[in-house]
Structure 1
């Protein structure tokens, strides 16, 4: 035996260096940026072609790839739609830091790329219900009154619908708008609408990336039940000064960006404002003067975005970003009467958001990336009415003000750890200080009237921890598993929730993948919504000692495949989902936001349950002269409240059985682009009176049927846009002509009751409901420029 061991020993010693080398690994890390602007690129594929292993850049453009040591150099391939591919040879056996700078394709080619900007094949990813929408595509599609709108493009995706004609609200998989976590540079935006919901607050010129998650939420996201909309602002061009803007029918905008110090610090500033009020003032004043009155009447909104980006060192970077936007409706009318008598009425309605974020990124080592985030968010609305009159030397004056707001201060830290291509580990924690003012009422009157103030203020604390791992178990099986722990303290009550998250994909073939996901979610805030036309008077309120937090579970299953036909790329995905929801709240019958103060808003609501389930099909063409997608959703959304509809199950107001969309973008010439969209949806449910009865001589009451039991007419609409790009010595100009509702479909906006009566011949006209339509065919023109 000893002789045999002695014989093997020299050979074994010769093998040890090779075995040791086989165990050695090295890591390549760095950033991937746009070569022209220095912008970090999100979701870029960094691949080692020889082994098929790879990774993708995170939200800040950072990548890390750990590979076994090789006897010679290792070659990496970096690819991203809209950019030229890049290759780099890594010296063997050593850790390396390398930043890639990708060259953009021509503007015409980059502009036709569609949904799914990441290079990772849809069958390879564990994520479900997640879609990236390139900003170039958002700017290409038809727009209402020429205003490019991020949220209206998202409404064209399966599983997402608007609340009504022209509105920018998001109702995702049977949920309500408050169940969407909308993040702008990681800061929550509580009301994303301008012009009573017809436009969103997001200026596309200031944005870098838009990602929507409808299901299979990773553990790093929490606080909402239905979706996550993660929007990142541009960081500012670090190479040269540039700008872009547009002039439209109702608004104009300008964006400026450039280096403060080249390759070290940059800025971006963007502004937008409507000017309908300025154009209409002469007409309004003339009309008032003809009625022996004076004053003004108008409406406007504005947005301001700003961001500073400072590269402190090769490992550290600091960002400071802010957004403010405000809507204002105002009316000041004074009626002139005999002598010195007069009457005047001043009224105003305003609402808006203010957000700010300070972020610090640090590369701890070539496998660890840390992001620390301090944010502030505020949303408020304000209604004011002041009535003054003078008669016979006596002046009477009364005023009423109603306002509400919600404010958040948050500190969050996230750690990305990439030990190997088979693991992408994320962990972190967050603390949020909430401050709610659900209703504040101030009233003043003359000496004969009482004066009072009522201010409601409520504070709450929210804390969370999470960990997740995107783990490739084998070539066929990959999972994303995570756990999130949330706590919420309010009024001496502490709520907690433990939320498991799991998503998996199994490759049936190299191109076909079966996917499944499960997520448990908790939402500690509610939105009290009036049952009529949506206004910014909807109130944000927290869970309290008596109002429990919303909870939901979502289970999704589906299949995905990447197709290639005649050298053209297609992606097909099919998903089915089931989502039960608990502790939803609604106003009781007849209740509204008026008079909602700290003493009674909880008594005006009732709690119930909800169910949403359905299926989605999504087919998209991602390359070639003609691109676009087809989406279809079959869905049910139901509610049950013990104190509503006699405790019986009823359809959610925005329950929509069938929803379909078609999007086509065709490049006629290098500088001429034609795009069109067509949408179809089952009509919304409404509650109508089925009869009328009388009590006594004068009192009449309507007898309403089951809640949301009547369906309005189906909704469908076609929009078209033709854009021409003209090169100039200083940049380019894009002229766009759009048609909204191209065949002038009279879609229902709401129904009203015609009381009936008798006609001129004395014939009886029975009471009936009439439809109000909002938008016929609307042509618009816009001119955008870039320098």
Structure 2
């Protein structure tokens, strides 16, 4: 697909639509009937309406050089009416029905339903907003999972079938900036990413940027996921608790006074108490082709005794909120997430014992102060501390023969602050200026001890700190719901490299008619901390990525440039959003992408991404259906891989189509979704050859083959009910099924050498499959 040609066609089409008659209007507290008469005369049209609809109504307008469609759109908002075109000259005028699920005015941002209730597109920037407490039912989800909900949007993919493994427009998960109340998150999933680590019941809003990123966001080159917890002080104590087949949760919102409140939540897995079908299926997918599933068997008939089987995850949050007056808001937030695994087994016949212990923690705190000096000038100050800890210990031993142990440690201490100012220069123009400081201390350690061969012992470690200083400017021009321009400039200084990096960003939107909008954006981004793949713990097979800082030579700074162009159409229940984009990423390495064929040598590379996101949605009363399609052509090129020729990216999903349906009837909600996509590329092995370094696997063309196409059908349904006559207590029962027809989809294919029956090396194909048919149940109470 030629993205440049497509963009050119878009521009030509928009220029054609510009060629409409335009006039200027200026009314100050003028009767609405007079305004209608003036517009009828200027455009030679006629309005038909009930006189009671506009009698005694006045309006103030100042519109320059606008078409009839643009004027009618503004009048619909100002006068709470709806215009319907009956012919070239005649329009009917009806009252506009206001529904909270359709449209509401919120801080001068017009919120409109994007996919379903609770998912909307912001009017003042390129972000998509998700409100978990208003989120409609989604396929396969009985609860509003913070990260899984995002995957229904075009341009967001998860090749690994996880909540936290989000690939946004060709970027990898570590290239996404994830914030929770301003705290940077380095691990965002539970149970190896299958569940997001954020409690949706105390989450107020999730803002997603796929492009058009504001200048205040920095040090990531792909998407931005900005999560904000509740900022409202409740009038009375509110709370709730729930239970599903993987975990239980509880939350409480307690007012201390009219100006202060405490909001807290907690979740914990129940898998060490109840062995559910849901958890068994998730475990089967996560642990397949690892020591935990194979039991380190040498022969198929080996009897393996489990000596330890501990797994749990938990998270909790506390937030103190103070609003002494309408011009000030102060909040202190704390988040703690933890995943723990301790597994051991014994093959009694050989007295061989093995154990794997893994613990991952991400915790942090933040302080935020917002202050309005007046209606034109405000500022906010945010300080945060985030700590990430990963520790793995794996051992294997046979009594009186050998004992070996592998340890891996990865820690990050990240703290910083930002100060943002916002000045409204005049009605259409706003200026924001800010400064951000952050300090990243990243530590990595890997050690191995072998009682049989001490000469093979090793102990590697690295510790480095990067201090980042950033100055940024955000300029916005917004005129009469017709023009929107966001221009930004961010300058970063990375101490670890002693270099400055400049990031210009621009987003432009214009309304071509009452139902059509054109948009275009461009941005440059940089990233100094990223994940690399290490193969020393590959026998365990989980969490084989570690965070490292950029340095001269082997780990360069990642750099991304992205250009987008598209249209948004909305009319009579139809919403169509089409956006084409081009993205180029420099600074990739064979370490950051974990090429198994590279034999751990170093090679620099880049990726070039052409893509298109399409969303088509139709609403008919309580029924909604939407089609989400993504086209991605992601090509890699590396100096010493594939002879320098381009090849498909490791997670390149060329086509992905999601077709979803939801229906609401009284207290019942049901949702059905079908997902089909292209299989990801893999490198096919042709056999084993002898080399001076011993037998090695011989591979064909890099990523020259593809896995079979992936498809899955998911279902979810919920029923809500009142427990008390006063509606103080509300209950909810939910049921979902993932992969209804139990399709076995391949997620990855690799190869390994195994000793055959004749003590010769044999090639083994290692396939990892998707989750099978998996039911889940939910019960919760809220008050």
Q: CA deviation at 1:651?
A: 0.8
2:743 match: 745
Distance 1:772 1:49, change over 3 A: farther
- 2:533 aligned to which of 529, 542, 552: 529
The verdict on how the C-alpha distance between 1:139 and 1:344 changes in structure 2, with shifts beyond 3 A counting, is: farther
Q: Identify the range of structure 1 (184-193 vs 505-514) with the bigger mean alpha-carbon deviation.
A: 505-514
- What is the CA distance between 1:695 and its match in structure 2? 6.2
Q: Does 1:197 align with 2:193?
A: yes
Partners of 2:462 and 2:741 in 1: how far apart?
49
The equivalent position to 2:373 in structure 1, one of 364, 368, 372, is: 364
How far apart are residue 740 of structure 1 and its match? 0.7
| Partner Cα distance (1:264, 1:589) in 2 | 50
* Alpha-carbon contact 1:236-1:259 (below 8 Å) kept: no
Sort the Cα spacing of 1:396 and 1:159 in 2 relative to 1 into closer, same or farther, 3 A. Answer: closer
Distance between the aligned counterparts of 2:615 and 2:304, measured in 1?
Answer: 59
Change (3 A) 1:52 1:525: farther
Q: Is the 8 A contact 1:518 1:556 kept in 2?
A: yes
Distance 1:587 1:83, change over 3 A: closer
* 2:654 counterpart of 1:650: no
8 Å Cα contact 2:404/2:448 also seen in 1:
no
Structure 2 matches for 1:223-242, cutoff 5 A?
A: 223-235=219-231, 237-242=233-238
**Per-residue CA distance 1:684-740 (angstroms, 9 max, x = gap):** 1111113444569x9654321121111101111111111111111141111111111
Sort the Cα spacing of 1:316 and 1:79 in 2 relative to 1 into closer, same or farther, 3 A.
farther
Q: Is the 8 A contact 1:156 1:679 kept in 2?
A: no
Residue aligning to 2:509: 505
The reply on whether 1:456 has 2:451 as its aligned counterpart is no
Paired residues of 1:78 and 1:85 also in contact (CA < 8 A): no
Choose the corresponding residue for 1:705, options 700, 703, 707: 700
SS in 1 for 2:159: coil
Cα pair 2:309 2:343 within 8 Å, conserved: yes
Matched, 1:403 2:409: yes
Cα 1:628/1:379, change in 2 over 3 Å = farther
Aligned to 1:686: 682
Distance 2:650 2:464 in 1: 30
For 1:662 and 1:202, locate their aligned partners in 2 and report how far apart those are by CA, in whole Å.
26
* Matched-pair contact (CA < 8 Å) for 1:650–1:709: yes
TM-superposed CA distance for 1:253, in Å, is 0.8
* 1:318 alignment partner, one of 327, 330, 333: 330
Deviation for aligned residue 1:618: 1.3
- Unmatched runs of 5 consecutive residues or more in structure 1: 1-20, 23-47, 54-76, 88-98, 596-602, 760-765
Q: Aligned partners of 2:346, 2:642: CA distance in 1, in Å?
A: 45
The correspondence for 1:583, drawn from 584, 587, 595, is 587
Is residue 471–residue 478 contact of structure 1 (8 Å, CA) maintained in 2? Answer: yes
1:440–1:456 contact (8 Å) kept in structure 2: no
Residue number in structure 2 paired with 1:556? 564
CA distance in 2, matches of 1:269, 1:235: 12
3-state SS, counterpart of residue 279 of structure 1: coil
Q: Which moved more, 1:159-168 or 1:199-208?
A: 159-168
User: Do 1:505 and 1:516's aligned partners in 2 also have CA atoms closer than 8 Å?
Assistant: yes
Q: Does 1:296 align with 2:308?
A: yes
State how 1:701-780 maps to structure 2 within 5 Å: 701-729=696-724, 730-751=728-749, 772-780=768-776
Helix, strand or coil at the partner of 1:50: strand
Give a deviation string over 1:550-586, Cα, whole Å, max 9, x none.
11111111111221x2xxx332211110111111222
1:50 alignment counterpart: 60
Task: Note if 1:248 corresponds to 2:255.
Answer: no
The residue aligned with 1:65 is: none
Aligned length: 661
Deviation at 1:148, TM superposition (A): 4.6
Conservation of the 8 A alpha-carbon contact between 1:236 and 1:257: no
**Residues 196 and 534, structure 1, Cα contact 8 Å, conserved in 2:** no
- What is the aligned counterpart of 2:393 among 373, 384, 387? 384
| Residue equivalent to 2:49 | none
C-alpha distance in structure 2 between counterparts of 1:50 and 1:324, whole Å: 51
- State the alpha-carbon separation in 1 of the partners of residues 498 and 753 from structure 2: 52
1:347 corresponds, among 353, 356, 377, to 356
Cα shift at 1:483: 0.9
Please say if residues 236 and 307 of structure 1, whose CA atoms lie closer than 8 Å, have aligned partners that are also in contact. no
TM-score (norm 1): 0.76
- 1 CA distance for matches of 2:490 and 2:752? 53
Q: Which residue is equivalent to 1:265?
A: 260
- Residues 112, 137 of structure 1: 8 Å contact kept: no
Where does structure 2 lack aligned partners over 5 or more consecutive residues? Answer: 1-27, 30-57, 64-95, 284-294, 296-301
Which residue matches 2:210? 214
**Corresponding position: 1:131 with 2:140:** no
| Match status 1:626 vs 2:638 | no
Q: Deviations over 1:652-699 (max 9, x none)?
A: 11111111112222112x111111221111111111113444569x96
- Alpha-carbon separation, structure 1, partners of 2:530 and 2:520: 29
Partner deviation per Cα, 1:376-409 (whole Å, 9 max, x = no partner)? 1122211113567765xxx987644211112210
The residue aligned with 2:493 is 487
- C-alpha contact 2:119 2:129 (8 A) present in aligned 1: yes
- Per-residue deviation at 1:211? 1.3
Note if contact 2:642-2:701 (Cα within 8 Å) is conserved in structure 1: yes
Cα distance in 2, alignment partners of residues 421 and 356 from structure 1: 37
Deviations 1:539-559 (A, max 9, x none): 111111323311111111111
Q: Distance in 2 between matches of 1:83 and 1:381?
A: 44
Structure 1 residue 110: Cα displacement: 14
1:650–1:755: structure 2 CA closer, same or farther, 3 Å change rule? same
- Partner SS, residue 205 of structure 1: helix
TM-score for both structures, normalised by structure 2: 0.76
Deviations 1:486-539 (A, max 9, x none): 11011xx31211111111122322322221111111111221135889843311
Write the distance in 2 (CA, Å) between the matches of 1:245 and 1:309. 22
Q: Is the 8 A contact 1:161 1:170 kept in 2?
A: yes
Instruction: State the Cα deviation string for residues 335-377 of structure 1 (Å, max 9, x = none).
Output: 889xxx9875443011121121111111122211111011011
**Matched position secondary structure for 1:319:** strand
Q: Please provide the CA RMSD for this pair.
A: 4.1
